[in-house]
Amino acid sequence: MSDSKPLIKFEDFAKVDMRIGTVLSAEEPERSDKLIKMEVDFGRIGKRQILAGIKAWYKPEDLVGKQMVFVVNIESKKMMGLESQGMILAADFDDKAVILLPEENVENGTFVK
pLDDT tens digit sequence for 39-90: 999 999 999 999 999 999 999 999 999 999 999 999 999 999 999 999 999 9
Q: What is the per-residue pLDDT for 3?
A: 81
Tell me the CATH number at 47: 2.40.50.140
Asked if residue 111 belongs to a domain, the reply is: no
- The mean per-residue pLDDT over the stretch 16-29 comes to 98
Q: What is the percent of the chain where pLDDT is above 70? A: 98
Asked if residue 58 belongs to a domain, the reply is: yes
Asked if residue 88 belongs to a domain, the reply is: yes
Q: What is the per-residue pLDDT for 52?
A: 97
Asked if residue 65 belongs to a domain, the reply is: yes
Asked if residue 62 belongs to a domain, the reply is: yes
Number of folded domains that form the chain: 1
Range of the domain at 16: 11-105
Q: What is the per-residue pLDDT for 1?
A: 46
Using alpha carbons, list the distances in angstroms from residue 38 to 58, 67, 82.
12, 12, 11
Asked if residue 40 belongs to a domain, the reply is: yes
Contact yes or no for 69/110 (Cβ under 8 A) = no
Of 58, 63, 14, nearest in space to 38 by CA = 63
Asked if residue 63 belongs to a domain, the reply is: yes
Asked if residue 20 belongs to a domain, the reply is: yes
Averaged pLDDT score across all residues of the chain: 95
Of 82, 63, 52, 56, nearest in space to 25 by CA = 63
* pTM reported for the whole predicted model: 0.92
What distance in Å separates the CA atoms of residue 1 and residue 52, rounded to the nearest whole number?
28
Q: What is the percent of the chain where pLDDT is above 90? A: 94
Is residue 2 over pLDDT 80? no
